[in-house]
Structure 1
Amino acid sequence: MKRHRYLEIGCLTLSVLAAGIFGPASATLAPTRQAHAQETQGKQSPPRKTRPKTGEEDQERPQGKTAISVSVDLVSLNVLVTDQKGNVITGLKPEHFAVYEDNVKQEINHFAPVEANITVVMLVEYSKQVFYLYSGYEVWNAIYTFAQSLRPGDWVAVIGYDLRPTILSDFTQDRAKLYDALRRFNYPAFSESNLSDALIDTLDRVEELEGKVAVLLISTGLDTFSKHTYDEALKKCQASSASVYAISLGQNFRIRADAAGYISPEGNLELLMSDNRLRSFADYTGGAAFFPRFVTEFPSIFQDISNQLRNQYSLGYVSSNPKKDNKLRKIRVDVTADINNDGKPDKLKIHTRKGYIAKEL
């Protein structure tokens, strides 16, 4: 096994160990078809993409990795529009939007400028390098602060990862269950942080959920021995309809350690690469990346994320390209609007996913 060095602190060299920190999960986001039928009886859960919604239907828990069939191939986009300062732009109409697939303009068949509830999976790194170097307190504080920001109707699940991802709380609207998941982040046993594996697994689990779905990735961005490559994780992000919002751990520690000369040049390079991973995962999915130095920044970050998710425009179109060739289709969304009423279109920023995979049915 090849050892990988991240940081040198005095005589201490951090190396990774092949093992995991979490025991068996008591709930799963992706049960079998039979388990799904048994589990969802009498329960409310966020909706799935298995059939058109009606106002009279009970909601079901979203379960990933189950077979579905879709009669109309509607490509759904959650689009956030902001000005150059990051202020969210609301009140836009369908005629303000233009959607292009592989540079071919598409007809918008669905448009909904609504403030909606959100479905979020918190994907949280919790390994020895987080606990010892970056302080487990950051992790606990992040989960607690986010739970405080929830509104009625929001759904949240919690997944922790080191060697492998483990579900600590299935989708719930109960804050007490989230606090219980927080208590399961106890003393870490191992140092692995397989980020690409954990992210791909999580995006697989949420791909059949409908509505505004996000993965809240709380991580150092470091990746040790993932079976999946960084490029594979990026391709998964491109194919996903979920937005990734990344929050970096350990920025304050890194600044202080670097100033004291405790980080080697190789370690600095690896840390810069870890930041780039988080930015890329967010950018490819239309999300955002944050790099807080202090835990006191968490409330404003979560408020920003919540505001962005709740004020996205929901767009949909049927591709003019009927081929199902498992290839990437690139998506571009343009917005032309005179927000300032000065007779000129304003320069606006559009945040949405960059593309999707035209999967064979």
Structure 2
Amino acid sequence: MRDENTAYCFRQALAESLGRVARLLRLASVAWIVLAMLAGAGAYRASAQENPLGEVHTQPPPPPPKSPDDSKPIVEGAGNVAASGTSRRDARLRVDVNLVLVPATVTDPLNRLVTGLEKENFEVYDNNVGQIIKSFSTEDAPVTIGIVFDLSGSMNSKFNRARRALSEFLRTSNPLDEFFVIGFNDRPAVIVDYTSDIDDVEARMVMLKPENRTALIDAAYLGITKLRDAKYERKALLIISDGGDNRSRYTEGELRRAVRESDVQIYSIGIFDQYAPTQEEQLGPVLLSDICDMTGGRMFRVGDIADLGDIATRISAELRNEYVLGYRPSDIKKDGNWRKLKIRLVPPPGLPPLTVHNRQGYYAPSE
């Protein structure tokens, strides 16, 4: 009996050992299959990326390097020297080229836009030192435009006109322009994110209702910050408001600093009351005018609410008819200091005195 029990136990142990071995063999087989599949997928991806006719490229091929003498290198907007970094929405390589691009508009004594000038009609000064203009263009390049729209309670009687003026501005812009809209009262909020669909912007604006107070500074600050993700190198901000700030957390000083550090051109339409009852409303026009002048843009004061559409169309025309002057600064020190910009006109004979509008300066890059 003892021998039979021993034999039975031996057979049971042997069966269990054989079962474990079989399971291990099955697991090993599955593992080899998985590894083979992964290796095959990796080889497929590698071959697809090496295939110039395929459609599975995850990244476009890098552009050919530009010559140091190239007169039109890629630069991150006006007033930027040694532009670098990559936009989150537009992953293009930025190269240190030491080229400053300055957009400028020219007006006559009646505040009308002047076009048709040539490179020889401009002189550029960087920290009061004359510069050689390396590039000059007047092309209607697409722009990324942020709209900052006042939705405070004081806009109730002006809202419909202002909304229609915004439509005029959008419909007379370059068809390739992209926009976003920030509305503000007690606080700013993005109403329409980046889009080129004008109908979408208009449909969303119809649903809005003015109310509460005015956080103008916060809204302008948000607009400048959001333009860091712009698709295009040229960036502009259009502010439509009827008064001063009485709700923001950011200060005027912080906004002015952000404006100086940006490469954004700012325009504003000021729908101001003739007799502003509060100090904030009295100072509103000064703030808007200052930040526009700093960037080479302009503030347009609305005398008659019926003129809103015409003013919006004029701003759109200015953005589409700018002169863009490029130069390499003779002072190439990367000290991070503020450098003053000045453009002097040398107009053709017979023209009346002209005025040039351009940004006041830029911060040099730092090491």
Q: Same fold (TM over 0.5)?
A: yes
Q: 1:226 to 1:328 in 2, by over 3 A?
A: farther
Match of 1:181 in 2: 204
In the alignment, what sits opposite 2:116?
91
Deviations 1:152-185 (A, max 9, x none): 2232221112343322112322121111330342
Q: Over residues 89-115 of structure 1, what are the superposed CA-to-partner deviations in whole Å (9 max), with x where a residue is unaligned?
A: 222222221111111122222211223
- 2:359 corresponds to 1:353: yes
- Tell me the distance in 2 between the aligned counterparts of 1:337 and 1:146: 30
The 10-residue stretch of structure 1 (146-155 or 171-180) with the greater mean CA deviation from structure 2: 146-155
Q: Tell me the residue number matched to 1:18.
A: none
Task: Please say if 1:248 is aligned against 2:270.
Answer: yes
The answer for the alignment partner of 2:322 in structure 1 is 312
Spell out the pairing of 1:79-158 with structure 2 (5 A cutoff): 79-131=104-156, 134-158=157-181
Give, in whole Å, the separation in 2 of the partners of 1:158 and 1:240: 19
Taking a change above 3 Å as real, the CA distance of residues 358 and 153 of structure 1, as seen in their structure-2 partners, is: same
Gaps of 5+ in 1: 1-40, 42-50, 54-61
Secondary structure (helix, strand or coil) at the match of 1:224 reads: coil
Counterpart CA distance in 1 for 2:133 and 2:228 is 22
Deviation at 1:211, TM superposition (A): 4.4
Q: Does 1:223 align with 2:248?
A: no
Which of 218, 224, 236 is matched with 1:203 structurally?
Answer: 224
The structure-2 alpha-carbon separation of the partners of 1:96 and 1:112, relative to structure 1 and needing over 3 Å to count, comes to: same
CA distance in 1, matches of 2:364, 2:198: 38
Distance 2:173 2:96 in 1: 34
Measured in 2, the distance between the counterparts of 1:113 and 1:240 equals 22
Q: Does 1:296 align with 2:312?
A: no
8 Å contact kept, 2:100–2:326: yes
Aligned match of 2:344: 334
Task: Give the letter for the 1:360 counterpart.
Answer: S
Looking at CA atoms only, which structure, 1 or 2, has the larger radius of gyration?
A: 2
| Count of residues in Structure 1 that have an aligned counterpart in Structure 2 | 286
**SS of the residue 2:102 aligns to:** strand
**CA distance in 2 between partners of 1:175 and 1:208 (Å):** 20
Change (3 A) 1:203 1:274: same
TM-score by length of 2: 0.69
> Given the alignment, which residue of 97, 107, 111 partners 1:72?
97
Q: Please report the TM-score for the alignment, with normalisation by the length of structure 1.
A: 0.70
Preserved contact between residue 207 and residue 241 of structure 1 (Cα < 8 Å): no
**What is residue 279 of structure 1 aligned with on the other side?**
289
Decide whether aligned partners of structure 1 residues 84 and 136 sit closer, same or farther in structure 2, where only a CA change above 3 A counts: closer
Alpha-carbon separation, structure 1, partners of 2:281 and 2:325: 37
Structure 1 pair 271–163 and aligned structure 2 pair: CA distance change class (3 A)? closer
Ranges in structure 2 where 5+ consecutive residues have no aligned partner: 1-57, 59-72, 76-86
Is the alpha carbon distance of 1:301 and 1:335 closer, same or farther for their aligned partners in structure 2, counting shifts above 3 Å? same
